[in-house]
């Protein structure tokens, strides 16, 4: 007898699942917040709390699920006030202003502490828009690197769970093998995708924008404590372009511009195998001596 095939959700889809919560009657008008219950996922655990890329995707999901959303994401900024504790959290998305083709959003993630009080662990702003078909061009040039099948998957020490959820194949700028304080450039190039493979969308693209290991580790070869403070993602492709990318690899290139008195920045570009620039991102990261 043939057994029916079991349908198993991808761990990323499980992680970004948000359950709508009941709202008061007066909150159903234009600009009303919508609240969603989410939960951290053990597959995306980091050293302290969950992987920040997945937390950002959960916050963006609150916008994408909102019934009043207009258009698709154009930009998304996440400010990490605190690491999430393992467990449930509440996501609230509110459209602040809606114009003819653009919409501005505020997102808050809160958790109930041991004292019984709700505390904000993340704030975010987003801009969504209805894009018009018009002249388009990209001045950024995709780096020339070997194809993904010709590059071995990175042999990264799996000290945290979330790394197991990504297939990363470095082309340049590997993580230091010897932590001796020797200095190098901050550039890293790598092919990457979800593991197991998953069709690309705005949520997974947002998480992939944060997979690069800290630039200060590459620049200085010291296992320095770090934490992302703020990350912005700019989206240069629509849902149709992301769907066409499917389960293919993305090429990511990341570098830092400055390390100064406890904070460094990181800029990155993400391309699909067809050579289309899908997103650029910038973040500021805390580091400690």
pLDDT, position 28: 60
pLDDT digits (tens, 9 = 90+) for 24-58: 545 566 677 899 999 999 999 998 889 999 999 99
Instruction: Convert 253-269 to b/e letters by CB count within 10 Å (16 or more is b).
Output: bbbbeebeeeebbbebb
Tell me the mean pLDDT per 10 residues along the chain, length 289.
Answer: 50 96 64 91 92 97 97 98 94 96 98 88 98 92 96 83 95 91 94 97 98 94 94 97 97 97 97 97 94
Three-state SS for 245?
helix
The CATH superfamily holding the domain 11-129 is: Acyl-CoA thioesterase, double hotdog domain (2.40.160.210)
> What does the pLDDT read at residue 107?
98
Residue 140 tokens, joined: 């950024």
So what's the pLDDT on residue 27? 58
The torsion angle over the Cα atoms of residues 39, 254, 78 and 288, rounded to 10 degrees, is: 90
pTM for this one? 0.93
User: What per-residue confidence (pLDDT) applies to 32?
Assistant: 78
CB 111 within 8 A of CB 121: yes
Amino acid 2: pLDDT: 38
Return the exposure string of 144-176: e unless at least 16 CB atoms fall within 10 Å of the residue's CB, then b.
Answer: ebeebeebeebeeeeeebbbebbbbbbbebebb
Q: Strand 226-235 vs strand 72-80: parallel, antiparallel, or unpaired?
A: antiparallel
Q: What pLDDT does 3 receive?
A: 37
Closest CA to 120 of 66, 60, 80, 61: 80
Alpha-carbon distance 168 to 165, whole Å?
10
Determine the pLDDT at residue 116: 82
Average pLDDT score over the chain:
92
pLDDT for res 26? 52
Could you say which of 2.40.40.20, 2.40.160.210, 3.30.1330.200, 3.20.20.140 is the CATH number of the domain covering 161-287? Answer: 2.40.160.210
Q: What is the DSSP letter of 50?
A: B
Distances (CA, A) of 185 to 58, 75, 174: 33, 28, 11
Q: Where in the chain is the domain with CATH 2.40.160.210?
A: 11-129, 161-287
């Amino acid at each position: 007898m043939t057994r029916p095939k079991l349908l198993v959700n991808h761990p990323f889809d499980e992680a970004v699942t948000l359950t709508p919560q009941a709202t008061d009657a007066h909150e159903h008008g234009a600009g009303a917040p919508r609240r969603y219950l989410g939960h951290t996922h053990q597959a995306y655990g980091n050293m302290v709390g969950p992987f920040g890329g997945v937390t950002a995707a959960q916050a963006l999901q609150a916008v994408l699920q909102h019934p009043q959303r207009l258009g698709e994401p154009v930009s998304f900024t996440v400010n990490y006030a605190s690491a999430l504790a393992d467990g449930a959290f509440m996501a609230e998305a509110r459209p602040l202003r809606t114009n003819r083709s653009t919409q501005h959003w505020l997102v808050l993630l809160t958790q109930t502490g041991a004292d019984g009080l709700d505390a904000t662990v993340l704030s975010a702003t987003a801009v969504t828009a209805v894009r018009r078909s018009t002249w388009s061009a990209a001045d950024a040039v995709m780096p020339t690197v070997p194809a993904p099948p010709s590059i071995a998957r990175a042999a990264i020490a799996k000290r945290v769970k979330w790394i197991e959820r990504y297939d990363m194949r470095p082309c340049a700028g590997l993580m230091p093998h010897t932590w001796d304080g020797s200095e190098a450039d901050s550039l890293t190039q790598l092919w990457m995708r979800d593991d197991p493979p998953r069709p690309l969308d705005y949520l997974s693209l947002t998480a992939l924008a944060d997979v690069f290991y800290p630039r200060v580790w590459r620049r200085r070869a010291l296992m320095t404590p770090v934490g992302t403070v703020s990350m912005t993602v700019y989206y240069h492709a629509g849902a149709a372009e992301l769907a066409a990318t499917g389960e293919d690899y993305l090429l990511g290139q990341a570098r830092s511009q400055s390390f100064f008195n406890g904070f460094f920045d990181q800029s990155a570009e993400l391309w699909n195998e067809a050579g289309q620039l899908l997103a650029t991102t910038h973040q500021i990261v805390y580091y400690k001596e």
